[in-house]
Amino acid sequence: MKDNQSGMTLVELLAVLVLISLVTGIIWTTMSISMKHNSVETTKLQLQQEANAVITKLQREHRVRECYNLNIEEHEITITNCEDQPAFKEILGNEFKYGPFMNRKIQPKKGNTRFNLEVTDLTNPKLTVTVPTEITRYKSE
């Protein structure tokens, strides 16, 4: 070889390609992991918001009704009036899986209502939010 030749050898070119591939692979893996983690956290946040919305609606009804039935089924939470009152039904939630299953007559003036509300993602059953809940009403004399 002549001393005044410039350029890259094949070994140098292969080394650069390997380094670029490694850096690209690390960046791609990091991005993939962060996007998956972001998706899971977004779903958890949606579950928490759903639980909060259901509990807020339930608290509102608990404070204005004399008697109601709380029905928690797998894909729906509803409240209805007791038998001796005019017909009424409100769906509090129907976008996720709910639990524990319950069909309870509630009379707010007789005491507080305690239960654990579970909200589970439909596509990933491992993602569940459990909210211990106590629904209260001001005691009037």
In this prediction the pTM is: 0.73
Quote the pLDDT of residue 85.
72
Q: pLDDT tens across 27-60, in order?
A: 999 999 999 889 889 999 999 999 999 999 999 9
Quote the pLDDT of residue 4.
67
Task: Show the 3-state SS of the chain.
Answer: CCCCCCCCCHHHHHHHHHHHHHHHHHHHHHHHHHHHHHHHHHHHHHHHHHHHHHHHHHHHHHHHCCCEEEEECCCCEEEEECCCCCCCEEEEECCCEEECCEEEEECHHHCCEEEEEEEECCCCCCCEEEEEEEECCCCCC
Q: pLDDT tens across 100-123, in order?
A: 998 999 988 888 889 999 999 999
